[in-house]
Each structure stands twice: as C-alpha cells, then as structure tokens.
C-alpha cells in the first residue's frame, strides 16, 4: 500500500485560508479518487474528540504560555495517533487546517516562546514527521485585520494586536524560507479566482 500524502494550510488569522479549503479538497478528491483513495479533512487544534475539547480551552481560556504550547502539542499527538497516521497508512490523503508550523508562528513568533523549546516538543511528538506540502497564505497584517474585523466575535487569538500578527507572519515566512521544498507561499491579497489558479497548479504538481 502506498502511503498517502499530508498537506497543511497555514496563515495568520484573516489570511483567507478557510475560504479555499473546501475547494482545494474537491480538487484533491478528483485527483486521487480513481485510485480508490479519499481525502480526510481535519484541523488543529482539534480533529479528535479530545483535541476539540482542548481547542475550546485553547481558543477561549487565558493560560500560561508554556501551558498553551504544551496543550497544542498534546492535541497534535492525539491527532497524529488517531487520525493522521492511520489515514496515511491506509493510503488516504490528509488535508489539515493548520499543524505545527502554527505553533512556531503563534506561540513562538507571536508570543515569544523560545524556539528550542518548541523544537524539543516537535521532536517528541512528531519525530522527523512533517507535511509533504504546506500552503502558506501570506498577507500583510493590516489586510488580515480588516478581514478579521468583518467576522463574528473574535476568539483569544483573533483579538491579538497587529504587532502580534506581524511577528506571527514573520515566523511563518522564516519557516517557509527554511524548508522551501515543503512550502508554497501564496500572496493571499489576490482575488479568489487568481488564488484558485495557483492552487490548481499546486494540485497538479503533487
Ligand atoms: P483557526 O481559527 O484557523 O481554526 O485556528 C485556531 C487558532 O489557534 C488560530 O488563531 C491559530 C491558533 N493556533 C495556535 O496558536 N497554535 C497552534 O499550534 C495552532 C494549531 C493554532
């Protein structure tokens, strides 16, 4: 059995990644359906019953920064063990709305947790495991903040300042520059149609 592929979507809140997830999933399904495989769509924090309970706490409850990072990785361990690893092993593909790049960007870049601590947790929880492909939706913080302003009541992260999101964005871009073969960076200020054209190329190339 050929292992499936693991694809993640990333970006600061308001970058617009969620708009593209459903459409991208359909393109992936079309690509792999003839081989009898399917696409498992999931998200972090979350993706399992325990992970969704942790998400509720993480997005709404003030907590110590290290607790926050540990809970993100605890939810991830559960997600890997119950959802991601079994799906890939049976040959399905997994499309996740965020993964560990988000912890480096938010808890590391945004909140300032030292990178070596996050790297230690990443090694513990994932070993050397990384997505096969990560699509990073990149936008300037002022564009993201306008987009966030248009939605419902903000959660704990969505209420953060532009400077927080500036540091978060910078860490995402640093991670992308560090692993250029894994990342595709999309200028998410473009129109939905132009972004879909780029994503179409991404689907053909994997
Ligand atoms: P979402 O709104 O894109 O579903 O993501 C949930 C929020 O959680 C988002 O504001 C980013 C944040 N987050 C982290 O701070 N660290 C992480 O490791 C993950 C996965 C998400």
Beta strands, E only, 54-180: 93-97, 133-138
Q: What is the pLDDT of residue 149?
A: 82
For residue range 147-205, list pLDDT tens digits in order: 888 767 888 998 899 999 999 999 999 999 999 999 999 999 999 999 999 999 999 99
Q: What is the pLDDT of residue 34?
A: 85
For residue range 49-86, list pLDDT tens digits in order: 999 999 999 999 999 999 999 999 999 999 999 999 99
- What stretch of H or E contains 70? helix 65-79
Q: For the chain, give the mean pLDDT.
A: 96
C-alpha of residue 44 to centroid of ligand 1, in Å: 7
C-alpha of residue 34 to centroid of ligand 1, in Å: 33
Q: Are 167 and 158 in contact (CB under 8 A)?
A: no
Is the whole-model pTM more than 0.85? yes
Report the candidate in 195, 152, 194 with the shortest Cα–Cα distance to residue 11.
195
Name the CATH code of domain 6-44+88-205 (choices 3.90.1150.10, 3.40.50.920, 3.30.360.10, 3.40.50.300). Answer: 3.40.50.300
In whole angstroms, give the CA distance from residue 47 to residue 151: 23
- Tell me the mean pLDDT in the region 105-132: 97
Q: What is the pLDDT of residue 1?
A: 77
- Out of 12, 19, 45, 52, give the residue to mutate to test ligand 1, the one with the largest number of ligand atoms within 8 Å of its CB: 45
- What stretch of H or E contains 84? none
Ligand 1 site: residues with CB under 6 angstroms? 13, 43-45, 59, 72, 97-98, 102-103, 106-107, 157-158
In whole angstroms, give the CA distance from residue 91 to residue 61: 37
Sign of the CA dihedral running 92, 95, 96, 99: positive
């Amino acid at each position: 059995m050929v292992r499936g592929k693991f694809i993640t979507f990333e970006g600061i809140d308001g970058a617009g990644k969620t708009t593209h997830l459903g459409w991208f999933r359909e393109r992936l399904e079309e690509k792999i359906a003839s081989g009898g495989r399917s696409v498992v769509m999931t998200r972090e924090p979350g993706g399992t019953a325990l992970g969704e309970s942790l998400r509720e706490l993480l997005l709404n409850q003030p907590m110590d920064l290290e607790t926050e990072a540990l809970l993100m990785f605890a939810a991830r361990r559960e997600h890997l063990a119950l959802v991601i690893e079994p799906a890939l092993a049976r040959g399905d593909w997994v499309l996740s709305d965020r993964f560990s790049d988000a912890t480096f960007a938010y808890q590391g870049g945004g909140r300032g947790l030292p990178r070596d601590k996050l790297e230690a947790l990443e090694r513990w929880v994932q070993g050397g495991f990384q997505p096969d492909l990560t699509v990073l939706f990149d936008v300037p913080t002022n564009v993201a903040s306008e987009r966030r302003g248009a939605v419902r009541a903000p959660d704990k992260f969505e209420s953060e300042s532009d400077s927080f999101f500036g540091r978060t964005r910078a860490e995402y871009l640093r991670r992308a520059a560090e692993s250029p073969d894994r990342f595709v960076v999309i200028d998410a200020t473009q129109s939905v149609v132009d972004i879909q054209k780029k994503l179409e190329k991404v689907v053909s190339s994997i």
